[in-house]
């Protein structure tokens, strides 16, 4: 599916997604990644929700954002609360959703000027 959003300031936005991939600024990505509006897209070495460790969330807590959108793949999978502790301690909000919903929500929050990161498991 292609997403359309009026972009300004050369911010990263999701321009499409499908089974096993997302597109950021029309560039296809097929591995887990972290996207912020004003930084280069960064690969995220997470192979699945079951592989997540506290260190993976600690990395996200240090990004300097207000909220992290955690895309858990094709379907929503909740995390054990213990894993979310680094984000809670850093006072960073987290929303867990399927990856496609995370892409759409990220674009809306970026358009609002929010400090957001999308951490997507593909």
The string of DSSP letters for 40-63 reads --EE-----GGG--HHHHHHHHTT
Give which of 16, 122, 106, 29 is closest to 73, Cα–Cα.
122
- DSSP lists the bridge partners of residue 82 as none
Instruction: State the pLDDT at residue 8.
Output: 52
CATH superfamily, region 14-120: MTH938-like (3.40.1230.10)
Do strands 42-43 and 14-18 pair parallel, antiparallel, or not at all (unpaired)? unpaired
Domain range list for the chain: 14-120
HSE of 96 in the Cβ direction (CA atoms, 13 Å)? 13
Residue 9: band (very low, low, confident or very high) from pLDDT cuts 50, 70, 90: low
Q: Using 50, 70 and 90 to split pLDDT, how confident is the model at 72?
A: very high
């Amino acid at each position: 599916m292609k997403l359309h959003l009026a972009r300004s300031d050369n911010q990263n936005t999701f321009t499409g997604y499908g089974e096993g991939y997302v597109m950021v600024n029309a560039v296809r990505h097929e591995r887990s990644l972290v996207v912020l509006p004003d930084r280069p897209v960064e690969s995220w070495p997470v192979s699945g929700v079951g592989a997540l460790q506290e260190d993976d969330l600690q990395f996200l807590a240090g990004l300097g954002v207000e909220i992290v959108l955690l895309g858990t793949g094709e379907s929503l999978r909740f995390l054990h609360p213990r894993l979310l502790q680094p984000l809670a301690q850093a006072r960073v909000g987290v929303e867990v959703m399927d990856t496609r919903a995370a892409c759409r929500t990220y674009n809306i929050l970026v358009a609002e000027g929010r400090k957001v990161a999308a951490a997507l498991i593909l």
